[in-house]
């Protein structure tokens, strides 16, 4: 009976620890230049998602892209890339639809910003801190900049592409 209690306690601790909310987590924000927004990506992904997947693969992560398109044709692109103890997560920035229409375009509801992405790297298990997320995100940031992306430490209200994609 004690073994079961110990095993259950251990599983609970691992489940809580696996939430990946370590002090070492790192986040960047990436703006998509108009030249990359108009290039044709592989079916089902955005050009940025493809580029980030290739970069993450070079760093030993296994990328898994995905997307979700609403009934208005607006698409959230996501990328999860994992390594043994590190997880990268990326998606276009969600906007509320209440942003300044002169700046972001007029939207009737929440939607993805087609030109701004958030990228976060954290440990899968904070107890197993083998590769440092801040070092990895620094390397990935440099590669994204070399690929022509605008990498920032904080988000902007919305990208210029948001206004261009708004349905009037």
According to DSSP, the residues that pair with 28 across neighbouring strands are 119
Mean pLDDT of the chain: 81
Contacting residues for 31 by C-beta, under 8 A, at least 6 apart: 115, 116, 149, 150, 152, 156, 159
Average pLDDT over residues 14-31: 68
Task: Specify the pLDDT at position 22.
Answer: 62
List phi, psi (to 5°) of 37: -70, -30
**What's 20-165's CATH class?**
alpha beta
- Whether 80 has a pLDDT exceeding 70, the answer reads yes
State the Cα–Cα distance between residues 121 and 29, nearest whole angstrom: 12
Confidence tier at 16 by pLDDT (50, 70, 90): very low
pLDDT tens-digit series, residues 103-141: 898 888 889 999 999 999 998 765 555 558 888 999 999
């Amino acid at each position: 009976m004690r073994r079961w209690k110990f095993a259950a306690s251990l599983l609970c601790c691992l489940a809580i620890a696996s939430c990946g909310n370590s002090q070492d987590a790192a986040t960047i924000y990436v703006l998509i230049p108009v030249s990359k927004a108009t290039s044709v990506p592989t079916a089902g992904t955005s050009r940025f998602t493809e580029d980030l997947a290739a970069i993450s693969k070079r760093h030993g992560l296994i990328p898994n892209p995905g997307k979700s398109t609403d009934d208005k044709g607006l698409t959230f692109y996501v990328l999860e890339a994992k390594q043994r103890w590190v997880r990268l997560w990326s998606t276009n920035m969600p906007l509320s639809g209440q942003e300044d229409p002169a700046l972001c375009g007029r939207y009737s509801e929440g939607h993805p910003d087609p030109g701004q992405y958030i990228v976060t790297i954290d440990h899968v298990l904070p107890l197993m801190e083998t590769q440092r997320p801040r070092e990895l995100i620094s390397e990935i940031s440099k590669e994204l900049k070399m690929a022509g992306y605008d990498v920032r430490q904080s988000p902007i209200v919305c990208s210029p592409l948001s206004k261009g994609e708004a349905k009037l």
